[in-house]
């Protein structure tokens, strides 16, 4: 009964989120373009499916994955679990399990991220199968895993965020010079789509837990920044994926030529 | 009807597969690392089932609803040939979908708290609320501008990397001048602005525009709108931190 109630709440909130989008779409469609909907029945059923789908998705996450994921983030960042005595100076080496957890949860949540699935489907259609949906998703997920693990390392060591981000930018710029032209826009996009419904709450819990347990860190100042890492590194790994794919196909061609 | 059911069946299986890594990570850390039993197994199972159903419905709705409408809008705007209306639509889509985004509201509220604790604003609830609201509108404005810029870029066929690298330089310069308290929030705000419904719509719009304008390649020119939408908020939020 309780969960039905919260499901309805979530459904209502989702409808409320989607309402401005629907108003903008249909307002421009009917008032400016003055064109009827293509296949109105399908579009309507699609919107209803998206609404219901998101509501189920969020309710399920709230009920099952978020509580346990957040609890684990707290437990793993606990000094007692990590075996650090209160008077001992913190060293980044003590936090081994935190980095492993950060990478694993970053990878896993990205694979389940609905907006990334959407972009992967579209990229696969547009490239006529040239960009594999799984190839792209795994490349992005590896990027998020590296990003979040590095982000937790930054919180532990307390080094300034912008050093990492600016170095990441330099890598992106250098890669852009060498990557195949057709992947560049998609790679830049994959940075923004990775962090939404599934990843943000769990990663935020991890950052907050870590920043409040490491001595000398303030959750308000140091808890931020993980999302930035998670949106930067996929750009690097997606371009890397395209570069490796291009290199392999060139080598394959050379082998068949011989 | 039976094809719909078969599609749903396939997509249920796909969704379950998408979720497997999370289940594996949580089970491994809970049982092997933390050595604790799984709490409330039934709840966990029902919740996971709901996530699987939800993801399947979402992907189905994406294919029959969001993608077709996004593309239809792009084709018809290209046919109508009115750039002004197209840009107005692009701005409305970016601003309208961001201003009410729950993740952004949460981040803005936290930013208000930080600003208050850091003594940037007056120590009152009103000032904190005002700061958060201002930040929210700043980010929404920046996303609206980003989509407009991105659409202009698709029409003109500019290479995406020059604009993005220019944006990076903007971020780096702003980092040098912005108050340190705002930098973390600014960097994060780039990632949280693009919601699950905005992404498919904006992607379909970009790809649709690039395929209906002669001389544009949907792969090279169609993507990139999301990238703009995650870059401009960083610059605008740091600017907001400097002005307020």
CA distances to A45, A199, B142, B196 from B56, rounded to whole Å, are: 14, 18, 32, 14
Instruction: List the 170-199 stretch of B: residues with Cβ below 8 A of A.
Output: 171-172, 175, 181, 183-185, 187-188, 190-199
Q: What is the CA radius of gyration of chain B?
A: 21
Is the pLDDT score of A3 beyond 80? no
User: Is the separation of the CB atoms in B74 and B22 below 8 Å?
Assistant: no
Is the pLDDT score of B189 beyond 90? no
For A196-227, how does the pLDDT look when each residue is reduced to its tens digit (9 = 90+)? 778 887 888 888 888 888 888 877 677 778 88
For B195-216, how does the pLDDT look when each residue is reduced to its tens digit (9 = 90+)? 788 889 999 999 999 999 988 9
Instruction: List the 76-115 stretch of A: residues with Cβ below 8 A of B.
Output: 76, 81, 97, 101, 104-105, 107-109, 111-112, 114-115
- Could you tell me which residue, B188 or A122, shows the higher pLDDT? A122
Report residue B55 as tokens.
């993801």
Contacts of A173 in chain B (CB under 8 A): 165, 168
The candidate with the shortest Cα–Cα distance to A63, out of B39, B125, B77, B64, is B39
- Could you tell me which residue, B111 or A181, shows the higher pLDDT? A181
CB contact under 8 A, B199 and A121: no
Report d(CA A155, CA A112) in Å as an integer.
26
The candidate with the shortest Cα–Cα distance to B30, out of A58, A60, A101, A102, is A101
Share of chain B above pLDDT 70, in %: 99
Contacts of A107 in chain B (CB under 8 A): 21, 25
Report d(CA A145, CA A100) in Å as an integer.
9
Mean pLDDT of the B226-230 span: 91
Q: Show Cβ contacts of residue A108 under 8 Å, excluding neighbours closer than 6 positions.
A: A141, B21, B22, B24, B25
In eight-state DSSP terms, residue B4 is H
* CB-side neighbour CA atoms (13 Å) of B191: 32
Is the pLDDT score of B1 beyond 60? no
ipTM score assigned to the predicted complex: 0.88
């Amino acid at each position: 009964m309780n969960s039905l109630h919260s499901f309805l709440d979530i459904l209502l909130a989702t409808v409320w989120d989607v309402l401005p989008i629907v108003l903008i779409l249909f307002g421009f469609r009917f008032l400016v373009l003055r064109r009827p909907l293509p296949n109105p029945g399908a579009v309507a059923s699609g919107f209803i499916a998206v609404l219901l789908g998101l509501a189920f998705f969020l309710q399920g996450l709230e009920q099952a994955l978020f509580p346990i994921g957040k609890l684990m983030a707290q437990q793993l960042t606990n000094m007692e679990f990590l075996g650090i005595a209160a008077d001992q100076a913190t060293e980044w080496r003590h936090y081994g399990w935190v980095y492993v957890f950060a990478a694993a949860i970053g990878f896993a949540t990205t694979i389940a991220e609905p907006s990334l699935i959407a972009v992967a489907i579209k990229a696969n259609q547009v490239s006529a199968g040239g960009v594999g949906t799984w190839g792209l998703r795994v490349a992005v997920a590896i990027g998020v895993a590296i990003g979040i693990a590095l982000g937790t390392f930054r919180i532990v060591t307390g080094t300034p965020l912008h050093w990492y981000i600016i170095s990441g930018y330099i890598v992106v710029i250098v890669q852009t010079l060498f990557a195949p032209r057709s992947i560049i826009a998609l790679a830049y996009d994959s940075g923004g789509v990775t962090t939404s419904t599934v990843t943000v709450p769990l990663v935020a819990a991890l950052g907050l837990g870590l920043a409040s347990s490491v001595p000398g860190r303030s959750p308000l100042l140091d808890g931020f920044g993980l999302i930035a890492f998670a949106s930067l590194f996929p750009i690097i790994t997606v371009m890397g994926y395209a570069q490796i794919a291009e290199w392999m196909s060139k080598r394959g061609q050379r082998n068949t030529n011989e | 009807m039976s094809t719909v059911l078969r599609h749903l069946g396939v997509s249920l299986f796909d969704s379950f597969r998408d979720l497997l890594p999370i289940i594996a990570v949580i089970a491994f850390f809970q049982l092997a690392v933390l050595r604790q039993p799984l709490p409330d197994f039934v709840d966990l199972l029902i919740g996971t089932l709901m996530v699987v159903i939800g993801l399947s419905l979402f992907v189905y709705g994406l294919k029959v609803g969001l993608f077709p409408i996004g593309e239809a809008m792009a084709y018809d705007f290209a046919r109508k040939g009115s750039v002004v209306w197209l840009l107005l639509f692009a701005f409305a889509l970016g601003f309208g979908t961001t201003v009410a985004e729950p993740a952004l509201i949460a981040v803005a509220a936290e930013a208000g708290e930080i600003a208050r604790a850091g003594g940037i604003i007056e120590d009152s609830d009103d000032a904190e609320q005002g700061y958060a609201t201002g930040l929210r509108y700043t980010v929404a404005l920046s996303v609206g501008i980003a989509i407009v810029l991105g659409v202009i870029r698709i029409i003109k066929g500019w290479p995406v990397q020059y604009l993005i690298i220019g944006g990076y330089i903007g971020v780096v310069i702003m980092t040098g001048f912005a108050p340190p308290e705002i930098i973390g929030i600014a960097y994060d705000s780039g990632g949280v602005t693009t919601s699950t419904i905005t992404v498919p719509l904006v992607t379909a719009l970009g790809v649709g525009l690039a395929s209906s304008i002669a001389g544009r390649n949907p792969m090279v020119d169609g993507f990139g709108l999301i990238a703009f939408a995650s870059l401009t908020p960083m610059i605008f939020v740091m600017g907001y931190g400097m002005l307020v």
